[in-house]
């Protein structure tokens, strides 16, 4: 359900007429070569499309307006091979509604020491041409990504590719629909927020449904669909004996499959990209959806529990950023701590809904049935597994009243120290950076939520790029974080976000 190759980023080179036709033709040829190389790069998940050289204010404005209305165009990469006087860019850049990266590169890697002459100097001017362009972007206070380095370098291509993934996630949010089955978990604050402001700022729309609408789709699931689904479970998972055919709880497996079929049909028919559930509103459903949610997340849907639509949308955005990359993305919650002399750890999990894309590879997740002890429904079926080991990031978005804030913490997922035979849910154990004491204090001062989107594939830089495109605050907690500095940053940001509205 995620297809990054449908998207285009346009490669746009600015120049002017002063240099003469011959130089402009060379600029265009070089520019095309760079666009083709970026498009072919293994790091680039979307198409990069070369656009004709821009040398006049009208052409620049026309290109920006065309980019705004082109459905598949999600952003621009700009480059000034020669000098392009930046007053020419004002009309275009002030009209542009799509994100852009400024690639500060030059065609040649090294100075041709024995050959360099004035013709070469006239052609290869990015070192100052890009500074003129940078000035007008800063003067206009435009958010953009600046990437510096030679265009053939893996690091530069990879930086642009990661940015393109953040841009794709942004494009994916525009017009996206989030289905909300039931409302918020009663009295919970952080999962609430201003949905109208979210739509204005983020572009996605949250559609509320009574759980009865979902129940109807679940009841409409056909026997053939349910059989096909239970067969998929038996093929893909280590299914506990009581749930198998002839087992005393096989009915629960079939009920779980019925819920998944109904949810899938509902979400597909409505063209939704993310959804929420709440255990406080399950009238007519036999179980809290567990396995169904886990599998829908695996297939690319965003999810938030207890009505958490902001996290549902964020999980979806990170699924788009991570598409085709190793490592997964899941809804997550800081569940419980392990204070230890060798480093305080967090056990992350949820009641049921952890995505199997983060599971340790090579081990079939266990499909089991156990009591939930909350919600007053039948025991739900769920996948149980250990998460993969490695560096990951947890992220949340909160509505702070005057603005949205994104906070992220880089963590290191480590081996579970001892077997957890009675823990009935999928889980990850991690050391937050720089340590739990600093990370948790900073997170709490920032008002960070207990729900997060967790990923091995998405980087802090990508989230920062994404937050800047969205125009929201970004706070990172990592190995460099100190609580006092972090608190001061919170104060400065409060001021900055108030003042910047007036600039
Ligand atoms: Mn929760």
pLDDT band at 372 (very low <50, low <70, confident <90, very high): confident
117-135 burial code (b ≥16 CB/10 A, e <16)? eeeeeebbbbeebbebbbe
User: What is the average per-residue pLDDT within 5-28?
Assistant: 95
Q: How far apart are CA 88 and CA 61, in angstroms?
A: 9
Tens digits of residue pLDDT in 220-262: 999 999 999 999 999 999 999 999 999 999 999 999 999 999 9
User: Residue 16 pLDDT more than 90?
Assistant: yes
End-to-end, the C-alpha distance of the chain in Å comes to 40
Structure tokens at 483: 């609580």
For residue 305, the CA-to-ligand 1 centroid distance in Å is: 6
pLDDT digits (tens, 9 = 90+) for 187-211: 999 999 999 999 999 999 999 999 9
Q: What value does the mean pLDDT of the chain take?
A: 97
Closest CA to 393 of 475, 267, 478, 274: 478
Average pLDDT of 467-491? 98
Question: Cα separations (Å) of 490 from 43, 408, 465?
Answer: 34, 14, 19
Burial of 276 (0-12, 13-18, 19+ CB in 10 A): buried
In the beta sheet, which residues pair with residue 211? Answer: none
Token reading at 328:
């997964």
Question: How far apart are the CA of 188 and the centre of ligand 1, in A?
Answer: 10
Kindly give the distance from the C-alpha atom of residue 427 to the centroid of ligand 1, in angstroms, as a whole number. Answer: 14
Q: What is the arithmetic mean of pLDDT over 23-52?
A: 97
Could you give the CA distance from residue 328 to residue 354 in angstroms, rounded to a whole number? 11
Written as six digits, the tokens of 191 are 């999962």
Q: Looking at the predicted structure, is the pLDDT value of residue 306 above 90?
A: yes
Distance 53 CA to ligand 1 centre (A): 52
pLDDT of amino acid 296: 98
Instruction: Specify whether the CB–CB gap between 314 and 453 falls below 8 A.
Output: yes
Cα(306) to centroid(ligand 1), Å: 6
Measured CA to CA, the distance from residue 459 to residue 477 in angstroms comes to: 13
Q: Kindly report the number of other CB atoms within 10 A of residue 245's CB atom.
A: 10
Question: In angstroms, what is the span from residue 285 Cα to ligand 1's centroid?
Answer: 19
The dihedral built from the CA positions of residue 160, 162, 164 and 166, taken in this order, carries a sign that is negative
CA 469/CA 453 separation, integer angstroms: 19
> How many whole angstroms from 328 Cα to the centroid of ligand 1?
20
Element (H, E) at 349: strand 345-349
Residue 368 has pLDDT above 90, yes or no: yes
For ligand 1, the distance from its centroid to the CA atom of residue 453, given in whole angstroms, is 12
Cis peptide before 434 (omega within 30 of 0): yes
**Closest among 134, 133, 52, 124 to 88, alpha carbons compared:** 133
pLDDT tens-digit profile of 140-160?
Answer: 999 999 999 999 999 999 999
Contacts of 33 (CB under 8 A, 6+ apart): 107
Where b means 16+ CB within 10 Å and e means fewer, 379-395 reads: bbbbbbbbbbbeebbbb
d(CA 219, CA 207): 21
How many CB atoms are closer than 10 A to CB 293?
28
Q: What's the 452 CA to ligand 1 centre distance in angstroms?
A: 9
Prediction pTM value:
0.97
Q: What digits encode the pLDDT tens for the residues 57-88?
A: 999 999 999 999 999 999 999 999 999 999 99
* β-strand partners of 276: 180, 304
pLDDT > 90? residue 424: yes
CA of 185 to the centre of ligand 1 (A): 9
Distance 123 CA to ligand 1 centre (A): 58
Q: What are phi and psi of 477, to 5 degrees?
A: -110, 115
Measured in angstroms, how far is the CA atom of residue 26 from the centroid of ligand 1? 58
Q: Are 93 and 133 in contact (CB under 8 A)?
A: no
Distance of CA 341 to the CA centre of its chain: 34
Q: What is the pLDDT of residue 503?
A: 64
User: Could you tell me the two tokens for 91?
Assistant: 């009309």
pLDDT at 94 over 90: yes
At residue 499, the pLDDT reads 87
Contacts of 197 (CB under 8 A, 6+ apart): 399, 404
């Amino acid at each position: 359900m995620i297809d990054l190759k449908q998207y285009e980023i346009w490669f746009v080179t600015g120049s002017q007429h002063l240099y003469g036709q011959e130089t402009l033709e060379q600029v265009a040829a070089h520019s095309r070569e760079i666009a083709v190389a970026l498009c072919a790069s293994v790091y680039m998940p979307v198409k990069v499309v070369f656009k004709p050289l821009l040398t006049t204010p009208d052409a620049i404005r026309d290109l920006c307006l065309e980019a705004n209305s082109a459905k598949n165009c999600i952003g621009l990469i700009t480059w000034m091979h020669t000098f392009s006087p930046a007053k020419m860019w004002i009309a275009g850049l002030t009209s542009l509604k799509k994100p852009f990266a400024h690639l500060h590169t030059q065609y040649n890697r090294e100075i041709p020491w024995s050959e360099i002459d004035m013709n070469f100097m006239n052609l290869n001017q990015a070192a100052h041409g890009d500074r003129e362009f940078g000035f007008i972007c800063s003067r206009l206070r435009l958010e953009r990504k600046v990437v510096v380095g030679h265009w053939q370098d893996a690091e530069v291509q990879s930086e642009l590719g990661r940015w393109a993934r953040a841009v794709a996630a942004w494009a994916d949010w525009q017009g996206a629909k989030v289905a909300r089955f039931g409302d918020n978990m009663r009295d919970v604050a952080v999962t609430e927020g201003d949905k109208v402001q979210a739509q204005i700022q983020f572009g996605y729309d949250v559609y509320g449904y009574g759980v009865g609408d979902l129940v109807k789709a679940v009841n409409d699931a056909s026997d053939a669909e349910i059989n096909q689904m239970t067969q998929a479970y038996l093929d893909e998972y280590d299914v506990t004996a009581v749930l198998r055919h002839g087992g005393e709880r096989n009915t629960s497996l079939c009920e779980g499959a019925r819920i998944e079929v109904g949810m899938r049909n509902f979400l597909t028919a409505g063209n939704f990209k993310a959804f929420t559930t709440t255990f406080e509103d399950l009238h007519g459903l036999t179980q809290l959806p567990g396995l169904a949610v886990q599998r829908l997340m695996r297939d690319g849907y965003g999810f938030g529990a207890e009505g958490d639509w902001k996290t549902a949308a964020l999980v979806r955005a990170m699924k788009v950023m991570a598409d085709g990359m190793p490592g997964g993305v899941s809804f997550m919650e800081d569940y419980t701590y392990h204070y230890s002399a060798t480093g305080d750890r967090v056990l992350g999990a949820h009641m049921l809904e952890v995505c199997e894309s983060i599971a340790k590879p090579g081990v079939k997740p266990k499909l089991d049935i156990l009591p939930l002890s909350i919600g007053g429904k039948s025991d739900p079926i769920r996948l149980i597994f250990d998460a993969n080991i490695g560096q990951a990031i947890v992220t949340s978005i909160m509505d702070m009243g005057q603005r949205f804030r994104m906070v992220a913490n880089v963590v290191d997922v480590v081996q579970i120290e001892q077997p957890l035979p009675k823990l009935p849910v999928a889980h990850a154990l991690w050391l937050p950076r720089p340590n739990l004491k600093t990370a948790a204090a900073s997170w709490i001062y920032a008002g960070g939520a207990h729900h997060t989107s967790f990923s091995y594939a998405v980087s802090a830089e990508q989230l920062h790029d994404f937050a800047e495109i969205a125009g929201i605050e970004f706070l990172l907690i990592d190995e460099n974080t100190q609580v006092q500095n972090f608190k001061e940053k919170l104060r400065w940001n409060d001021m900055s976000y108030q003042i910047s509205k007036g600039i």
